[in-house]
């Protein structure tokens, strides 16, 4: 999206020059196609490295935690909700931030593209409007972007940022009639044993590399429970039970906080769909507490407050 | 927590939560009995068990 890129560079340059911000957090083109990477820019002369297209799926909020300077940051719908969550959880102050909002129509699932070209090496992937043109040594293929979206983007209901200081373009229409929890419901309908088999198979390839945790803006603890050794909460081997414990607890730590940005799935080297865990929690938060994370600065999250009418059917 | 554990395949009836004051002896007995009955009905756990490595 060349218009967005130009506008982002212009805004970042202006903010850095007039001293509104000391650092600007955005994306630049990655060294590999479809892998744009986060970049922190301090020098207004370097804003031309900033870039925007449908491959900016990493969550920039990850780079805000406990920073002390004035920061300019790009924010799509989900990223802005993570920024709100960060503010609510006292990881950053609202006054420090200048949020540049991006109306987002979704990010491309790089694995789907890779599959569609038969796993061949992709040498370039250019976005042209609604299309993505993928080229390799001996092939060229054009994709409709809306057919190769990340699965979380396909069911996104908050494409426009919720908290912004400036927008790079007019808001896009929100998607109507999406069924965000269809896959969760299909698992809910299974017998306990089938559910266990489903999740065991889901995580069977897990290497315990913790990329999902590292990419997640919610996982900002100085020492993660999986890294602690005194006490050691969970085994460090790739024993299936330990792996399940890791995924279960990682997800649970995101309860009422996850914005379904999809960064965890995007970075997984073996393509595990770990959003199946967090989505169940999102569904519960929505059904039992009428809560979707990061939509407002005014309200405390459900696990943070007590209300006499809180859901408590599980307690005797 | 209970919902997610049951979502990943732990049987309903295996996990129980209760709030019992130190003054509520009868409630404690009742809950303990209920838990016992419920877990007995579900039978021995088959999943989420970590087997220790066998050492010679």
Q: What is the pLDDT of residue A316?
A: 80
As separate numbers, helices (DSSP H) first and strands (DSSP E) second, chain A gives 10, 8
Residue count of chain B: 56
* Interface of chain A toward chain B, CB-CB under 8 angstroms: 184, 187-188, 192-200, 235, 239, 241-242, 244, 248, 251-252, 255, 277, 280-281, 284, 314-316
The residue of chain B nearest to residue A238, with distances taken between CA atoms, is B50
Which tokens in the block code for residue A287? Answer: 């059904």
Query: Can you tell me the mean pLDDT for A282-303?
Result: 91
Cβ of B3 within 8 Å of Cβ of A199? The answer is no
CA distance A245 to B47: 12
Q: Containing H/E element for A219? A: none
Domain boundaries, chain B: 2-42
Q: ipTM of this complex > 0.90?
A: no
For B7-55, how does the pLDDT look when each residue is reduced to its tens digit (9 = 90+)?
A: 888 888 888 999 999 999 999 999 999 999 999 999 888 888 887 777 7
- Is residue B34 within 8 A of residue A316, CB to CB? The reply is yes
pLDDT in tens, A25-56: 999 999 999 999 999 999 999 999 999 999 99
pLDDT computed for residue B2 by the predictor? 73
Beta-carbon separation of A284 and B1 below 8 A: no
Helix (H) or strand (E) holding A73: strand A71-75
Task: Return the structure tokens found at A125.
Answer: 């992937």
* Dist. CA A129–CA A132, nearest whole Å: 8
* pLDDT grade for A167, boundaries at 50, 70 and 90: very high
């Amino acid at each position: 999206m060349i218009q967005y890129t130009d506008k982002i560079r212009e805004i970042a340059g202006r903010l850095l020059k007039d001293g509104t911000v000391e650092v600007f957090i955005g994306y630049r083109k990655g060294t590999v196609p479809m892998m744009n990477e986060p970049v922190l820019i301090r020098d207004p002369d370097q804003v031309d490295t900033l870039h925007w297209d449908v491959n900016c799926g990493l969550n920039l909020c990850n780079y805000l935690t406990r920073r002390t300077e004035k920061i300019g940051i790009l924010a799509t719908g989900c990223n802005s909700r993570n920024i709100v969550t960060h503010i609510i959880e006292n990881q950053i102050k609202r006054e420090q931030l200048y949020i540049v909002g991006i109306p987002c129509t979704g990010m491309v699932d790089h694995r789907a593209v890779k599959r569609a070209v038969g796993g061949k090496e992709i040498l370039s992937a250019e976005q042209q409007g609604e299309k993505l043109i993928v080229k390799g040594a001996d092939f060229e293929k054009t994709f409709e972007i809306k057919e190769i979206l990340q699965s979380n983007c396909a069911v996104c209901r908050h494409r426009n940022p919720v908290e912004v200081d400036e927008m790079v373009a007019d808001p896009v229409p929100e998607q109507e009639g999406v069924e965000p929890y269809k896959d969760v419901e299909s698992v809910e309908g299974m017998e306990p044993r089938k559910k266990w088999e489903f999740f065991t198979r889901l995580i069977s390839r897990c290497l315990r590399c913790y990329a999902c945790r590292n990419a997640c803006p919610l996982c900002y603890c100085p020492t993660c429970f999986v890294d602690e050794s005194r006490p050691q909460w969970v085994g460090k081997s790739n024993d299936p039970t330990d792996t399940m414990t890791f995924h279960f607890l990682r997800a649970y730590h995101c309860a009422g906080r996850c914005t379904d940005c999809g960064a965890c799935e995007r970075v997984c080297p073996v393509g595990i769909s770990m959003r199946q865990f967090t989505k169940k929690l999102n569904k519960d938060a929505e059904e039992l507490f009428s809560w979707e994370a990061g939509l407002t600065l005014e309200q405390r999250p459900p696990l943070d407050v007590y209300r006499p009418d809180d859901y408590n059917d599980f307690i005797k | 927590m209970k919902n997610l554990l049951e979502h990943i395949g732990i049987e309903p009836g295996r996990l129980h939560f209760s709030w019992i004051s130190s003054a509520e002896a009868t409630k404690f007995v009742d809950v303990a009995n209920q838990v016992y009955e419920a877990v007995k009905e579900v039978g021995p756990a088959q999943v989420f068990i970590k087997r220790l490595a066998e050492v010679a």
